[in-house]
């Protein structure tokens, strides 16, 4: 789906601050009230957020999650993966007690989050990402209606000051075409921990891979495919909005496009036949 602008229900959480001390107490109080209103002893969904040195971004994430509007009871599990900054302090001040995982790595942090969850379903996200109020219900819909065992959502980028949102929209449009091709035969290649929903019991039996690579989410998705389908959710109501650093790892924006094109061209043929899993 083409998203040329950042919607207002996302922009409202885009707080700019130089350091955590600049955040007003009024903002923390509003976020605490939002989480308190959602508190439950019997969650259906556990929202798992992992964080490492995210003091510059995590307030936006917390703010958006405190404003969720779901008809289902939810709980929030934040895992601080050995941060050296004030990530945990900000989480605490927003009314959430983080869980600590000292073993560095995405897989370690994801696994710790699942093990500390109580919901029937897990919905994973990232600490540098903002979520719409309709996120939970939209991601759960294909699972609760029996269309799939899990669901994976898309994401868009919030440009830095002076950057064009439109150019990122075109980049995402191309990326989503690639993801659509992947979904036909290899849906696990379109799954990202930034927006992924699945049953907790199945995840506990499988377990996240214990390493620091970015393949922990795809590996979980591949294992889940043995028991059911993974539905890709592309509606804006479930789209996550994140910062641009994953694109900027390739240098300039144009270089990022070039790198992505070359990478996808080299492996596009694999999208047309199914991955053979070990039985």
Q: Output the pTM of the full model.
A: 0.92
Share above pLDDT 90 across residues of the chain, in percent, rounded to a whole number: 75
Whether pLDDT at 124 is above 50:
yes
Contact (CB, 8 A) for 242 and 153: no
Q: What is the mean pLDDT of residues 32-61?
A: 98
What pLDDT does residue 53 have? Answer: 97
What pLDDT does residue 271 have? Answer: 67
pLDDT tens, position by position, 75-98: 999 999 999 999 999 999 999 999
Say how far apart CA 119 and CA 108 lie, in whole Å.
19
Domains of the chain: 8-159+191-243 (3.90.550.10)
Whether pLDDT at 264 is above 70:
no
What pLDDT does residue 279 have? Answer: 44
What pLDDT does residue 185 have? Answer: 87
Of the pLDDT bands very low, low, confident and very high (cuts 50, 70, 90), residue 213 is confident
Of 38-42, 84-88, 100-104, 241-245, minimum mean pLDDT range: 241-245
Whether pLDDT at 218 is above 90:
yes
């Amino acid at each position: 789906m083409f998203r040329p602008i950042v919607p207002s229900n996302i922009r409202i959480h885009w707080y700019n601050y130089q350091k955590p001390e600049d955040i007003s107490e009024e903002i923390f109080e509003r976020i605490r009230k939002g989480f308190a209103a959602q508190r439950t002893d019997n969650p259906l969904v556990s929202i798992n957020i992992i964080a490492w040195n995210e003091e510059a971004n995590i307030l936006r994430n917390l703010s958006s999650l405190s404003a969720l509007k779901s008809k289902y009871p939810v709980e929030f599990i934040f895992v601080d993966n050995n941060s050296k900054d004030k990530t945990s302090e900000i989480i605490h001040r927003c009314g959430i007690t983080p869980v600590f995982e000292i073993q560095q790595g995405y897989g370690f942090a994801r696994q710790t989050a699942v093990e500390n969850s109580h919901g029937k379903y897990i919905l994973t996200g990232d600490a540098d990402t903002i979520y719409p109020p309709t996120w939970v219900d939209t991601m759960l819909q294909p699972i609760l209606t029996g269309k799939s065992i899990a669901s994976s959502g898309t994401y868009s980028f919030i440009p830095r000051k002076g950057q064009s949102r439109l150019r990122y929209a075109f980049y995402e449009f191309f990326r989503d075409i690639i993801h659509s091709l992947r979904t036909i035969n290899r849906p696990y290649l379109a799954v990202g921990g930034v927006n992924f929903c699945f049953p907790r019991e199945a995840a506990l039996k499988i377990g996240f891979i214990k390493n620091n690579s970015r393949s922990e989410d795809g590996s979980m998705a591949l294992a889940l495919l043995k028991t059911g389908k993974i539905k890709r959710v592309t509606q804006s109501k479930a789209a996550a909005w994140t910062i641009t650093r994953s694109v900027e790892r390739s240098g300039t924006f144009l270089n990022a496009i070039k790198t992505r094109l070359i990478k996808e061209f080299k492996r596009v043929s694999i999208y047309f036949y199914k991955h053979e899993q070990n039985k």
